[in-house]
Amino acid sequence: MSSKEKPTLGGTRIKTRKRNIAAPLDPAAFSDAVVQIYLDNAGDLDLVAKSIESLDLNFSRYGDTFFEVVFTGGRTQPGTTKPDEGERHPYSIIDCEPKREAILPSVIYIQKILRRKPFLIKNLENVMQRFLQSLELFEENESKKLAIFTALAFSQKLSGLPPETVFQPLLKDNLIAKGLVLSFMTDFFREYLIDNSIDDLISILKRGKVEENLLDFFPSAKRTPEAVSEHFTKAGLLRIVEYNEKKIFEMRLKEMKSVLTSQMAEEADISEVIETVKQHVKDAKFPDIEVVRILWDVMMDAVQWSGKNQQQNANAALHQVKTWAKLLNTFCTTGKLELELLYKVQVQCYDDTKLMKLFPEIIRSLYEQDVLAEDTILHWFRRGTNLKGRQTFVKALEPFVKWLEEAEEEE
């Protein structure tokens, strides 16, 4: 039995798929071409930008090489900051004076290039990341120029440059330990704050995910609030000092509030809570007024208000006042602090509808527990300066004040 042959189509040609043959990379030729443009135009960046625009250069393949030429005057060895063989020009960012007026033209020049070729922003990120990760390979003056460029880039809102890709590479232990990061960031802060507010700076740092703690920029042996204040004061950056001190203050207040909240929830002995407050006040040097404010906040936050009617809310608030009256008494030591507490109660009762009708009862309870003196209440009633709900609360407190005045007359 003969086997059947497979049918074939006569006269057909089987076409083979053509493979894409990639042209070999030649960054050296690209670098030399860009360098020549700088040389031909004697470093005039407006003319350089026009010449680059008129030529058919393959920026999509050699974007990193282009920015190497912009920053260092020529091509660098792969993965390093060291110069590679080939032509170089003397008009780079690294070669200019470490001054804003010398570096700003390069920022504006890059902005022009990016507007026409926005895809190059990724290449700019790549080169900046590589250079910042290698700060130890740059001289102090060169590092300063990079810091000034970075500050001007953000100040000029250089198209799409993400702060996190710039600042995160700096957080390398070896760079921090050598003080290179602190030096870079100090130069960056000083330059950026010339044209921008401290709020603008903090916004940039937040986006760069380095805002939480300035201590991260300091070598481990110098990571103290005192070292931060001393360093930036000497650098003339008092706005940084003020911001950092405020940040530390808020952090410590939050920490004290958290500890007190836990102690109250666990119904700790009041003497233990008092000692906790005293220790935090001693360590953080909290002003007396802030202590009084936070004590009242913690006391009221500890109340479970959810799902309660008016009478239950009143009972819960008054129970809290009675329970922790000794705590308030310990720290409300002057008429001024008592008045501050009264204002605090006024504002909370005004802002929180469930407490609004409780204002006179809370004040009376604080009086009965010897937290608020008669003189303090009468001063608030007659000459109080906080207007939040004042008219309503003065009227609500009239019967109690009348009773106080009558008792005063009888005495």
pLDDT per position as a tens digit, 302-355: 887 766 677 888 888 888 999 999 999 999 999 999 999 999 999 999 998 888
CATH of the domain at 40: 1.25.40
Short-list 50, 26, 131, 32, CA closest to 86:
32
Ramachandran bin of 250, using left for φ above 0, alpha for ψ from -120 to 50, beta for the remaining angles: alpha
- What is the tens place of the pLDDT at every residue in 50-104? 998 888 889 999 999 999 999 999 998 876 777 778 889 999 999 999 999 999 9
332 and 269 inside one domain:
yes
Rounded percentage of the chain residues whose pLDDT exceeds 90 = 67
Residue 229 sits in the same domain as residue 259: no
pLDDT in the model for residue 4: 52
Looking at the fold, whether 202 and 343 belong to one and the same domain comes out as no
Cβ-proximal residues to 256 (8 Å cutoff; 6+ apart), any chain? 276, 277, 280, 284, 286, 294
Neighbouring CB atoms inside 10 A of 64's CB total 20
Domain limits for position 288: 250-410
Q: Residue 15 and residue 19: Cα distance in Å, rounded?
A: 12
pLDDT value at position 201? 95
* Cβ neighbours of 240 (radius 10 Å): 24
User: Do both 240 and 110 map to the same domain?
Assistant: yes
How far is residue 187 from each of residues 154, 236, 272, 400, 409, measured CA to CA in Å?
14, 11, 47, 61, 68
34, 85, 99, 124, 164 from 146: Cα distances, Å: 21, 23, 11, 13, 16
Say whether both 267 and 390 belong to one domain.
yes
The Cα–Cα gap between 361 and 311 comes to: 11
Q: Are residues 238 and 301 in the same domain?
A: no
Final residue of a structural domain among 208, 224, 245: 245
Q: Are residues 342 and 356 in the same domain?
A: yes
Residues 258 and 232 grouped into a single domain: no
Residue 58 carries which side chain, given as an amino acid letter? N
pLDDT band at 9 (very low <50, low <70, confident <90, very high): very low
Confidence at residue 322, expressed as pLDDT on a 0 to 100 scale: 92
Domain assignment of residue 17, yes or no: no
What mean pLDDT, rounded, does the chain reach? Answer: 89
Q: What is the gyration radius of the CA atoms in the chain, in angstroms?
A: 34
**pLDDT score at 16:** 47
Has residue 332 been placed in a domain?
A: yes
Convert the pLDDT of each residue in 249-301 to its tens digit.
988 999 999 999 999 988 899 999 999 999 999 988 899 999 999 999 999 98
Domain count, the chain: 2
